[in-house]
Amino acid sequence: MIPQIDLTRQHAALRAELLAAAERVLASSRFILGAEGRALEAEVAALCGVRHGIGVASGTDALHLSLRALDVGPGDEGVTSAFSFVASASAVLHAGARPVFADIDAETFALDPAQVERVITPRTRAVIAVHLYGHPADMDPLVAIARRRGLAVVEDAAQAIGAAYAGRPVGSFGDLTCLSFYPTKNLGACGDAGMVVTDREELAERVRRLRDHGSREKYQHAELGYSSRLDELQAALLRVKLHHLPGWTAARRR
């Protein structure tokens, strides 16, 4: 049987590069919030067409922190798709809000904008648009609806880094975009990892605080936060793989 995802084969082909990256981190003895993470954040943000990347511990954490940064909370609603991994909805529940499901488009498997508009209520605070199987959601009408109704847009691009919609990269449409680097994703770490990308500086700063116990600087905590930092080893390994992502994507499309 041919495996759907053969990480052993992938890592064998990249073995020398991955080991060199790991050695670089070990030699630096800097394992949290260092140069590798900052470089990866800049590289992924550029790929997504935005200015800011914030490395976090997982794609699920990226969703949690994004909703916190948008102040989604008790009494609010977040519109998303039921045809997704559970984290797209559970993140709304963890924020204290209520997930509301809109139906999907049969061609893209993503939210149908007309169905989203039908389920919006005065309590709706955000639309979480899931780009499933690498197929982008229909972002232009979704963003137009959200802006007209005063709602935030979060892109769940856990399965779609490198995809494009209307000539623009996925990640450049929403207020915040959440990425997962779970090992089986098209850009996968060698463990758990994720990232939030955004073009809005104030939201980037908020997510940076929230991922590190709410701190603006060491031992100065402005709010209640989390321990959700992307470690240097995963960042270094992801930088190796990121270099190969365009080739892998082209091969998938063939």
Helix (H, G, I), strand (E, B) or coil at 186: coil
Is the pTM value of this prediction over 0.75? yes
d(CA 134, CA 130): 10
Q: Which residues of 86-95 are buried (b: 16+ CB within 10 A; e: fewer)?
A: ebbbebbeeb
d(CA 76, CA 97): 5
**So what's the pLDDT on residue 6?**
87
**So what's the pLDDT on residue 2?**
66
Determine the angle formed by the axes of helices 35-47 and 232-253, rounding to 10 degrees: 30
Residue 2 included in any domain:
no
Cβ atoms within 10 A of the Cβ of 61, count? Answer: 26
Where do the H-state alpha helices sit in 95-219? Answer: 113-119, 139-149, 201-211
**So what's the pLDDT on residue 57?**
99
Residue 26 included in any domain:
yes
Per-residue pLDDT of 31-66, as tens digits, reads 999 999 999 999 999 999 999 999 999 999 999 999
Per-residue pLDDT of 88-125, as tens digits, reads 999 999 999 999 999 999 988 999 999 999 999 999 99
**So what's the pLDDT on residue 12?**
94
Domain coverage including residue 125: 7-253
**So what's the pLDDT on residue 31?**
98
**So what's the pLDDT on residue 216?**
84
CA angle 236, 240, 245 (to 5 degrees): 130
**Residue 182 has what DSSP assignment?**
-
Instruction: Identify the segments of the chain with pLDDT beneath 70.
Output: 1-2
Residue 1 included in any domain:
no
CATH number at residue 35: 3.40.640.10
Residue 226 included in any domain:
yes
What is the count of structural domains for the chain?
A: 1
Residue 25 included in any domain:
yes
d(CA 31, CA 43): 19
d(CA 113, CA 141): 6
